[in-house]
Chains A and B, each alone.
Chain A
Amino acid sequence: MAESSELYQQVILDHNRKPRNFGVLPTANREQMGHNPLCGDELTVYLEMDGETIRDISFQGSGCAISKASASMMTAAVKGKTIAEAETLFEEFHRMVKGEMDPATTDHHLGRLTILAGVREFPARVKCASLSWHTLHAALEGRQEALLVEE
């Protein structure tokens, strides 16, 4: 049984209070909105793409500490990465928070993102942690419509 302190770690609370890469990105050439109608969380991911590379990224929106911290950490993790690298991170992150991949026993590229592994003990909160990632994924695919995430 995970304690709440495992989920609400200092790093997560810090990212919630002072989110990195927060705000509109003036140089963005791609943006995508994500919305979780169940809890009302809403965020927009802004991307400055240079060919296949994410040259810069930011996000803006409102949500719970888990969703804000996850978005903040995501922007830090994918900045400078290629689309393929970012998609690999999305897939690994998604499997980690759903409890399908244990970062302690499996090879991965998640780095500090494993701080969010505790979310897997809180099924109702998985969507909070993955909203930003789904939104990024949709942006990288070049989808136009707002994304609804309800998993």
Chain B
Amino acid sequence: MKGAVSETQPQRERAIPFDIERIREDFPILGKVIKGHPLVYLDSAATTQRPTVVIEAVDRFYREQNANVHRGVHHLSEVATREFDSARVKVQRFLNAAESHEIILTHGVTESINLVAHSYGGKFVGAGDEILLTTMEHHSNIVPWQMLAERTGARVRAIPIDERGEVRLEEYEKMLHPGVKLVGVVHISNALGTINPVRTMIEMAHRHGIPVLVDGAQATPHVKVDVQALDCDFYAFSGHKLCGPTGVGVLYGKTRWLEAMPPFLGGGDMILSVSFEKTTYNALPYKFEAGTPPIASVIGLGAAIDYVNSLGFDRITAYEKDLLDYATATIGAIPGLRIIGTAREKAGVLSFLLDEIHPHDIGTLLDQEGVAVRAGHHCAQPAMKFFGVPATTRASFAFYNTREEIDALANALHKVKQIFSL
């Protein structure tokens, strides 16, 4: 399969410099004026914005190509099927998966993880077994495993983190034993920005024969992912955090696991034949794709992948690192501001506290300046509890943000301080 990579689509990077002004023009919403101020969108960890090429791909599908896939013999259905299948191959190459049937199209990371918890967990996890998850997991990589534990009598254990927000690898090592049936780890923490040493953690788990699921929701828009180099057993990500549409996600799984796992949802498309006596399940990947998929969103995801590939991951990662360093220095210098999550390897997330001011007050006041941030527990309450705070304010960056926007955030934070010190 690897030999096929060169056949189509640009995996190569454009040989032009990272032209931020041009990139911003690709995103129509970035030109919006909010409450009299130019929008400063610093909430990409919640969802990224979409470039025109993605919006147009979805629009074009509904205007010119709309039909159901894998069914009709008519022209539109053939076009829709071709576009849909080609998006799956784009995802395969994006993750460097060995086979396109290892790419299961879901409705998002949450469904992807629930699929694994249900199908892998239902078959391979029993009473007394353990699931290990890091303390910084998003709720979507905690709750499905707790539900599995309730059904099976298995136990969910938290891998400790330190005050920087890094996994304590020596503690993790001690927790690995044959009774552990799966390790779940977030590639990049949405609440802290930590880039976890997933390659190392996977290798450590594999020495004990334990498969690893990586939650890549925050990673895919920022760093290059290669599932074969990582050697992960499962990798999940969502389209909407990668400049794609909402309602589409991906589960990568190694063939041997996916083949051994029973289906998740039952319905059309996931079967070969159905009678009331016996139903035969379809081959991969269709076995896990019951019902009509979010076709337009899948095609939009394909367009998003083409788009970020055209910018080049080396340059995206380098540009965002520069932004994060600048933000850490600029925002970190504000008196009374404390950054939560200071891992040595970090991606574009800045979670912080400011004096005694509640994050919701900060969020509302920043919004009045056109600055969009997230305030709350970021669906990572165990991580918040570890740091002893109920909530933080979080600014998160993408490759379309600028140093000027970070200055706008800093200025707005000074105003917040002023209002509260009156």
On A, residues with C-beta under 8 Å from B are 1, 3-5, 7-8, 10, 13, 38-41, 62-66, 122, 124-125, 128
Contacts and interface: CB of A to CB of B under 8 A. Distances in A.
Given A1-B35, A8-B419, A39-B377, 6 more contacts: A4-B364, A8-B365, A13-B422, A39-B376, A39-B390, A39-B391
19 contacts: A4-B365, A4-B368, A8-B419, A10-B422, A13-B422, A39-B360, A39-B375, A39-B376, A39-B390, A39-B391, A40-B376, A40-B377, A41-B390, A62-B390, A64-B360, A65-B358, A65-B361, A66-B361, A125-B364
Interface string B361-403: 1001101100000011100000000000011000000000000
Contacts of A125: 360, 364
Contacts of B35: 1
B124 interface: no
B365 A64 contact: no
Contacts of B359: 64
Contact of B390 (A5, A10, A40): A40
A1 B390 CA distance: 30
B391 A8 contact: no
Contacts of A128: 360
A1 B365 CA distance: 14
A62 B388 CA distance: 13
B11 to A, nearest CB: 42
B18 interface: no
Given A4-B368, A40-B391, A122-B364, A63 B376 contact: no
B62 interface: no
Main secondary structure of the interface of B (DSSP, over half): mixed
Nearest to B375: A39
B45 to A, nearest CB: 18
A7 B364 CA distance: 10
A26 to B, nearest CB: 27
Nearest to A40: B390
A125 B368 CA distance: 14
A65 B357 CA distance: 8
Nearest to A127: B360
Contacts of A124: 364
A45 B361 CA distance: 22
Contacts of B365: 4, 8
Contacts of A63: 358
A75 B173 CA distance: 53
B43 to A, nearest CB: 13
A128 B364 CA distance: 12
A7 B422 CA distance: 15
A47 B47 CA distance: 44
A38 B377 CA distance: 8
Contacts of A4: 364-365, 367-368, 419
A13 B364 contact: no
Contacts of B358: 63-65
A10 B368 CA distance: 17
B32 to A, nearest CB: 15
Contacts of B390: 39-41, 62
A57 to B, nearest CB: 23
A87 B358 CA distance: 29
- Determine which residue in A8, A38, A128 has the highest number of CB atoms from chain B within 10 A of its CB, and name it: A8
User: Which of B35, B364, B365 gathers most chain A CB within 10 Å?
Assistant: B364
Contacts of A7: 364
Interface string B280-317: 00000000000000000000000000000000000000
B413 to A, nearest CB: 14
A60 B130 CA distance: 40
A151 B396 CA distance: 27
A7 B357 CA distance: 15
Contact of A38 (B364, B376, B419): B376
B366 to A, nearest CB: 9
A36 B352 CA distance: 21
